[in-house]
Copies of this chain bind each other. A is one copy, B any other.
Amino acid sequence: MSKFIEQERIIEALLFSSQDPVSIKRLVNILPKNSEVDTIIANLQKKYEGRGINIKRSGAFISFRTAKDLEYLFNEVKVQKKSLSRAARETLTIIAYHQPVTKLEIEEIRGVSVASGTIDSLMELEWIKLGRRKNTPGRPLTFQVTEKFLDYFDLSSTKDLPGLKEMKDLGISVNKVNQKFEDG
């Protein structure tokens, strides 16, 4: 039996009783001082591997979630989310791949301005939030994705996004293009 058994029990109980992911920070506060929280979580993750419920880590949060291969059990319960507009999906994708990213940068990539409803709807879903200001003229605010976004799409961090490198390589700044167009 693990020497961390009491800590594991506490984490199990907390995760079970919460629908939303629990922050690691919170666990650190609740667990006895000097607990090796990361090790305990890793052990626990291993323990639940291959079981009907697994332990997921998204960013600085962890949660219990049903195993993905058992989705057939829930066919009746499935709630299809109302589908997002194309603008919202594209905006979300750009934020996820390029975060932290400014509104102007999103507009440059999409070639159109971002309608206000778009940002609001993503904020309402709590999939995006404001990030730090960028150190460029005007110090614009940036957008970034949330833990809830990661949780929803079953990602443990934005580093897990498919094709991240390809997207990064294509870059975001297109000022050059516009300038060329303008100076001819």
Contacts and interface: CB of A to CB of B under 8 A. Distances in A.
- Count this chain's copies in the assembly: 2
A128 to B, nearest CB: 10
Contacts of A115: 171
Interface residues of A, number: 50
Contacts of A53: 12-13, 16
Interface string A67-93: 100100110110000000000000000
B52 A12 contact: yes
Contact of A120 (B12, B52, B172): B172
A123 B172 contact: yes
Interface in A117-145: 117-120, 123, 130-133, 139, 141
Interface in A139-167: 139, 141, 154-156, 160, 162, 166
A170 B154 contact: no
Contacts of A110: none
16 contacts: A9-B52, A10-B52, A10-B70, A11-B52, A12-B52, A12-B53, A12-B66, A13-B52, A13-B73, A14-B73, A30-B76, A103-B170, A116-B173, A123-B172, A132-B155, A133-B160
A17 interface: yes
Contacts of A123: 172
Most buried by B among A9, A74, A76: A9
B171 A120 contact: yes
A50 to B, nearest CB: 8
A50 B118 CA distance: 48
A155 B155 CA distance: 26
Contacts of A61: none
